[in-house]
Structure 1
């Protein structure tokens, strides 16, 4: 059958799509690039925010009107299957922890629903733009009060280490120059194996794979990163690993963190960053901030601003808190939208100011850059060893270059090949 897949959301969702594509191709189904050419439509959904959920509802409605077989997969399907059924009563549903059922759903004559399945054994053998995305763990060990993804990916399930390494070898042999090891919480890897294997073991084994490629490690919750921080930092020192740490703090205020049900204090987070920077001075510390979560008063917001000023994050992912159904935070007293919007403006302005100052330090200097993807107007996009994007001209994907930085924005660097 001809199958069209449309994907929304994070790197883990993209990795899930590559797994589904791999399974479909193994059964001789054809992946097509347009809904009009397809027999089956697969929508791999996200549900992380209110506006995202509304967008998913709209897209389900649009695809359902095409009158073709529709499969709704991903986090929206897993967290809100009843809503999917109401919008598209004939659509099949596959939760994000039931990827292996994509063949059953594609080939079934009638509607089917799979919200969970066996432990994950399927890995992707497909990638795009020279960047391979490999899920290493599904689900997390946390229970944050604001998070709907936990409802969609209920259980922490780590992929077998050998399967991950074999997949890296396969993708690198096919030309991938960047491998993203992703998960809902990469640092929770192996907890479901009794802690006998950890993220550091995955990185160490992955670094031994032959080939010209770089490893990018996905988001890690601070409490799980702390669990094995010395060994983890040692693995990040390998030349094949980007010095990139995505550690979402969410708030710079201890009381708000407690309300969120996060499992660390601001001081513990601060010490984690200090330890990383002490041992890897050029480390890129990227974080997530939720603005306007219940309990965030003016003093708590100020504490978050102060933490940003102190740590001077390389990158911030900032989101206004939005209510998600069936989460504890949605039942709490809410902060007015006008207050959240004003705080968002303040924090965005601070982020851009700090990011520009951080990037200005590269001006006139030469950085080693690996080219990983195509940019706009025939440009190429590369990454420094600490994962800052660099825009260059006349470069070849997969090659390393020495680039003299001659311009910058708060988001990226620009330069000429030396």
Structure 2
């Protein structure tokens, strides 16, 4: 069959698509890049936010009109299968924890609905460009009141270390220079395997031969605390980006309780202080939800104060949206107009803070690894602490270069080549 796969959502979803591509290719099916070439369409969906879900619904309606075999995969299929079936009664469904069943569903002449699978035993052998996304686990150990993803990925399932190492070896052999270890919660890795932790896994991955960098995926603060010493040690390794994604979600203890987050604001601050003390150049990125139920003016102010105090390089800000079948949906809601105003205020503050941080790099020379093509002939690289750098000069992907930073925005740095290539950092 000729199969077209369209993917939305997080790195883990992208990793799932690469797993499906791997399995289908091994079976002899062809992955095509254009819709009109396909016999079968797989839509790998996201449902994390209301506007994302609406986009998924619209896309299902559009694809259904093509009269081709349609398979809806991913978190929307897993969390709200009835909604998917009402939109496309003939479509097959694959939950995000049953991607290993993709061949069975593609080859079946009948409609299939498989929402839960077995322990994952396959890692991707497909990647695009110079970045390889390697899923290390899906599901999580938390139970946040606002989260619909928990309904789609119900069980924590960690991939065995030898499979992850094998996938990394293959990706590096094929030319990947950035390895993204992806999970719903990377710090939960190994809780279901007994004895092994995320830091143990990263130590195995850094031993893979080759010139590449590892990006550790998002971690919940409470589980990062569980393995803090180990994480700090692996962050010191030359093959690991000095980058930590620690979603705080709110700067107010009462809101954190209503969210069912398992830490206090002070505990989060202490975690950040400890990492920054041991890894001075570390880039700590966070997520914040604006307007969650229970967020009054004081709680919102506390969140702004946390942003000012901790000065994150990047913040993924999201306005709270009701997700079906979650506990937060049944709480008293913050009016939309208030949420919108708060979102504007938070965004403005974030842009000011991020620009201030990035502006400190102007005039300096940074070692950068080139990973992606940008717009208008530019190339995008990453500093050792994972800040994106736009390079206007002609430069090959997958190389270490020295770049003089000439401009900054709140989102990235811009610069010109000083020399290329430079010796790898390891």
Please state which band the TM-score falls in when normalised by the shorter chain. Answer: over 0.9
The offset of 1:202, in angstroms, is 1.1
Q: In 1, Cα distance between the equivalents of 2:34 and 2:378?
A: 27
Match in the other structure for 2:173: 173
Match in the other structure for 1:158: 158
Match in the other structure for 1:62: 62
Q: In 2, Cα distance between the equivalents of 1:407 and 1:85?
A: 50
Q: In 2, Cα distance between the equivalents of 1:47 and 1:406?
A: 39
Q: Deviations over 1:241-263 (max 9, x none)?
A: 00000000000000000000000
Answering whether residue 119 of structure 2 is matched by residue 119 of structure 1, we say: yes
8 A Cα contact 1:212 1:398, kept in partner: no
Match in the other structure for 2:407: 407
Secondary structure class of the residue paired with 1:192: coil
Q: In 2, Cα distance between the equivalents of 1:129 and 1:343?
A: 38
Secondary structure class of the residue paired with 1:240: coil
Match in the other structure for 2:8: 8
Q: Deviations over 1:368-398 (max 9, x none)?
A: 1000111111110000000000011221111
Match in the other structure for 1:215: 214
Q: In 1, Cα distance between the equivalents of 2:414 and 2:43?
A: 36
Q: In 1, Cα distance between the equivalents of 2:375 and 2:177?
A: 20
- Structure 2: tracts of 5 or more residues without a match: 419-426
The offset of 1:332, in angstroms, is 0.5
The offset of 1:186, in angstroms, is 0.4
Match in the other structure for 1:282: 281
Aligned structure 1 segments of 4 or more residues deviating by more than 2 angstroms: none
Answering whether residue 49 of structure 2 is matched by residue 45 of structure 1, we say: no
Match in the other structure for 1:317: 316
TM-score (norm 1): 0.99
Match in the other structure for 2:129: 129
Match in the other structure for 2:146: 146
Match in the other structure for 2:422: none
Q: In 1, Cα distance between the equivalents of 2:365 and 2:33?
A: 40
Q: In 1, Cα distance between the equivalents of 2:372 and 2:210?
A: 18
Secondary structure class of the residue paired with 1:241: coil
Q: Alpha carbon RMSD of aligned pairs, Å?
A: 0.5
The offset of 1:106, in angstroms, is 0.2
Match in the other structure for 2:378: 379
Q: In 2, Cα distance between the equivalents of 1:156 and 1:219?
A: 15
TM-score (norm 2): 0.97
Secondary structure class of the residue paired with 1:417: strand
8 A Cα contact 1:186 1:199, kept in partner: yes
Match in the other structure for 2:72: 72
Q: Deviations over 1:254-279 (max 9, x none)?
A: 00000000000000000000000000
Match in the other structure for 1:334: 333
- Structure 1: tracts of 5 or more residues without a match: none
Q: In 2, Cα distance between the equivalents of 1:232 and 1:177?
A: 21
Match in the other structure for 2:17: 17
Equivalent residues in 2 for 1:337-352 (5 A)? 337-352=336-351
Q: In 2, Cα distance between the equivalents of 1:37 and 1:372?
A: 29
8 A Cα contact 1:44 1:72, kept in partner: yes
Secondary structure class of the residue paired with 2:192: helix
Answering whether residue 238 of structure 2 is matched by residue 227 of structure 1, we say: no
Larger mean CA deviation between 380-389 and 34-43 belongs to 34-43
